[in-house]
Structure 1
Amino acid sequence: MNHPRDVPLASVPGIKLLIVDDLPENLLALSTIIAQEDRIVYQASSGEAALALLLEHEFALAILDVMMPDMDGFELAELMRGTERTRHIPIVFVTAAGKELNHAFQGYETGAVDFLYKPLDIVAVQSKVNVFVALRKQQDEMTRQMAALEQSQKELQATRTELRHALQMRDDFMSMVAHELRTPLNTLLLENQLRGIQLGRASTDAFGPEQLQRMVARDARQIRSMIRLIQDMVDVSRIRSGKLSIRAAVVDVSLLLQQIVSDMAHQAEVAESPISLQAPGGIRGWCDDFRVEQIIVNLLTNALRYGGQKPVTVSLVATPTQILITVRDQGAGIAANDQKRIFAPYERAGTNAVRDGLGLGLYIARQLAEAHDGTLEVESVAGDGARFTLMLPREEKTAV
């Protein structure tokens, strides 16, 4: 593969060879001898032109004519050996002078790997060039393999890091599960032991109607807490296995929100954060009412937990194609760098004063929203509360 002299062709693939001679006929002859399909032969008619090519390309071999005006082959070789970029390029000298001038000795002194005399032995020239081309191919293949090995090592290290992280998350998760389940179980156990002591003493006063009502309410709260934790773990397992089911139908979302806010009135009273609902009646959407309730209850629970004992607002807005449910609190807000993290599994954005649960609620809520072909997003400014918006489709999507 031949190219015009002094013309850089950096974008052409192949092993690059440089020939330098001040006579065009010598360049043409040598180029014809060494050219093959897997090579790119660059021609330079002077030392200056050769230097320009050497700065632009990576050559496997440079064949330099000794006798050239302005800058001879030896001077060019010395410049090449003095530059880091070109220091390791093999140099073969070509000369028409007799052996008695001892050019070969001077050539080897300047770092040449071989010396050729004119008229050139075509077979010998081709053989020598083939050796250097083969060496360069081996070097390139080794470089490629080393790069692939380095990439494999990086990928292996990344996999190890991910595995360590996964193992750490598993350990942290099991620790959280143990902690979160231990609290209600311990409460139930203590209550049970206390009642056993009272029954053993025949202390029936402790089991009057009011006392029994409080006992049942406390037991129910602890049992609901454990059920919620177990349900979260089941939902995460379904999400990861792709078995999360959505049973969508036409739902009166206005009525659903009224029921949710009513059901959470006692929890809001305990948290001293009243919940207000702004929802026009009769708005319907295409959704799974059980799963939507799960999302909204999670958002309201977080709003009551982190809302700083300030009012919480639930609002419903409808467009021709979507319904938007927004839960807004007036708490401390969520830092910008936490707003993506809180939707990851086992992440919690609580403070030292408020931090409980498994950190699965928002992760599950977003997955449930996306399973509806909807979205769940958060907007928050530090010190000005947080606003979570659930978008759901109004109508069933038909297959295209």
Structure 2
Amino acid sequence: MNHVAKEPNKEPTKLLIVDDLAENLRALNAIIRADDRAVYQAMSGEEALTLLLEHDFALAILDVQMPGMDGFELAELMRGTDKTRHIPIVFVSAAGKELNYAFKGYETGAVDFLYKPLDPDAVRSKVNVFVDLHCQRMEIRRRVEEQQATMNELRAAQEELRYALRMRDEFMSMVAHELRTPLNTLFLETQMRKMQLDRGNLEAFGEDALTKMVARDERQIQAMIRLIDDMLDVSRIRSGVLSIRPGWTELQDMLRRLTSDLSRQAQDAGTTFELDAPQAVSGWWDEFRIEQVIVNLLTNALRYGGGKPVSIRLVATEAEARVDVIDQGPGIDEAMQARIFLPYERGAGNGVPSGLGLGLYISRQLAEAHKGTLTVASKPGEGSVFSLVLPRGTPPA
């Protein structure tokens, strides 16, 4: 088998010649070879079949009279196989025209029949025609594939656009809903106070009453601030300006403080926190941002934990620290696990306000900004484990 030179980055056109005599193969190869072609040679029908199944040929030139499987038998096998039935066949014979081989050759699907001795110019001209036709077919196929790929890209882009528009509309609806709740509460509170003032009932504003009023107002204002902060963080993440200010941070005390701060929220959800943090673990992190991640994980565990205790585990090696937040909720199926870290994705909680669906998205971005990871391990019916892993690092010199 001879391989000829080819143009860079261009697949050569493959030709197959089959003859049981080596000198005939050499002579035919000399006639049809060219820089943009690869000529494959076979000395039997069986050898030719092996090559036909391995390569896509533009043309097969078959000698009629070969021992064993002759050219006609090889042609019939080629026409019976999907991979080879499209290959044009040219028969070559040294027998006289009176044997009527040409008629039998055309019956088996040949496109031409040549007699020996061969006319080099005629052979070369015929081969050039079939090579050109093959190249045209390949170019058409390439263009069709490119058009199909372009159509697929357009369909994917349209689907992404539809998804983005749907998410935008849902997001605006969520923002309106989530902001309306604390605003309505504040509005009702102010209306009640105005009514008491109009009636001159100053006793309604005693020290205990004022303390409770301020606490309620603070909770509603903080809820709105958190929503606005989440939206600002998403904007910063997408514009690449999210700021990280590392400092020497200790996780054990942070977890104790956060679980204490959120104990009232846990009580409202009908559950408790179980903290397993036996030792102090320090690292070079942005304390405010790590708190933000852990608070998101804890509030999510309360929201989707089914009212069962939420466990928090702190473990560490010399290289990294890991915080696991473990709930006993309904779990998350595999398809949803791939989506919960996308913006605006929200699950079905247990009545705890579910926010804008930005918490896990922001948390993963913050973990990655610290060169860490935020992952989930879960199975339906078995709860979920969210793991925040952070390299401990060293402060700059």
TM-score (structure 1 length as normaliser) = 0.83
Q: Contact 1:286/1:392 (CA < 8 Å) preserved in 2?
A: no
**CA positional deviation for 1:398:** 5.6
For 1:231 and 1:31, the matched residues in 2 are separated by 75
Which of 200, 207, 219 is the equivalent residue of 1:221? Answer: 219
Residue matched to 1:21:
19
Residue matched to 1:7:
none
Residue matched to 2:166:
168
Indicate how the Cα distance of structure 1 residues 86 and 195 shifts in structure 2: closer, same or farther if over 3 A, else same. same
Q: Deviations over 1:118-173 (max 9, x none)?
A: 33221121111111112212222222222222222222222222222222222211
Once the two structures are aligned, what percentage of the paired residues are identical?
63
Unaligned 5+ residue runs, structure 2? 4-9
Indicate how the Cα distance of structure 1 residues 53 and 386 shifts in structure 2: closer, same or farther if over 3 A, else same. closer
Question: Which moves more between the two structures, 311-320 or 162-171?
Answer: 311-320
Tell me which amino acid in the other structure corresponds to 2:160. E
Aligned residues: 390
Residue matched to 2:237:
239
For 1:28 and 1:245, the matched residues in 2 are separated by 73
TM-score (structure 2 length as normaliser) = 0.84
Residue matched to 1:374:
372
Q: Deviations over 1:26-65 (max 9, x none)?
A: 2322222112232232334444544444344332222233
Q: Contact 1:328/1:386 (CA < 8 Å) preserved in 2?
A: yes
**CA positional deviation for 1:205:** 3.9
Q: Contact 2:269/2:352 (CA < 8 Å) preserved in 1?
A: no
Residue matched to 1:42:
40
**CA positional deviation for 1:357:** 0.8
Runs of 4+ in 1 over 6 A off after TM superposition: none
Residue matched to 1:156:
154
For 2:253 and 2:137, the matched residues in 1 are separated by 74
**CA positional deviation for 1:234:** 0.6
The SS at the match of 1:332 is coil
Residue matched to 2:85:
87
Q: Considering only aligned residues, what root-mean-square deviation do their CA atoms show, in Å?
A: 3.2
For 1:278 and 1:174, the matched residues in 2 are separated by 39
Question: Which moves more between the two structures, 124-133 or 87-96?
Answer: 87-96
Alignment of 1:231-310 (within 5 A): 231-275=229-273, 277-279=275-277, 283-310=281-308
Residue matched to 2:195:
197
Residue matched to 1:332:
329
Indicate how the Cα distance of structure 1 residues 132 and 303 shifts in structure 2: closer, same or farther if over 3 A, else same. closer
The SS at the match of 1:89 is coil
Tell me which amino acid in the other structure corresponds to 2:2. N
Residue matched to 2:130:
132
1:319 aligns with 2:308: no
Question: Which moves more between the two structures, 73-82 or 15-24?
Answer: 73-82
Indicate how the Cα distance of structure 1 residues 380 and 126 shifts in structure 2: closer, same or farther if over 3 A, else same. closer
Q: Deviations over 1:323-368 (max 9, x none)?
A: 3344444x42523424443332222233364452111112222222
The SS at the match of 2:340 is helix
For 2:183 and 2:281, the matched residues in 1 are separated by 41
**CA positional deviation for 1:109:** 4.2
Tell me which amino acid in the other structure corresponds to 1:332. G
Tell me which amino acid in the other structure corresponds to 1:303. A
Tell me which amino acid in the other structure corresponds to 2:341. F
For 1:22 and 1:393, the matched residues in 2 are separated by 70
Q: Contact 1:326/1:390 (CA < 8 Å) preserved in 2?
A: yes
Indicate how the Cα distance of structure 1 residues 125 and 392 shifts in structure 2: closer, same or farther if over 3 A, else same. closer
The SS at the match of 2:232 is helix
Residue matched to 1:8:
none
**CA positional deviation for 1:311:** 4.3
Unaligned 5+ residue runs, structure 1? 4-11
Residue matched to 1:123:
121
Indicate how the Cα distance of structure 1 residues 283 and 130 shifts in structure 2: closer, same or farther if over 3 A, else same. closer
Tell me which amino acid in the other structure corresponds to 1:156. L
Q: Contact 2:306/2:330 (CA < 8 Å) preserved in 1?
A: no
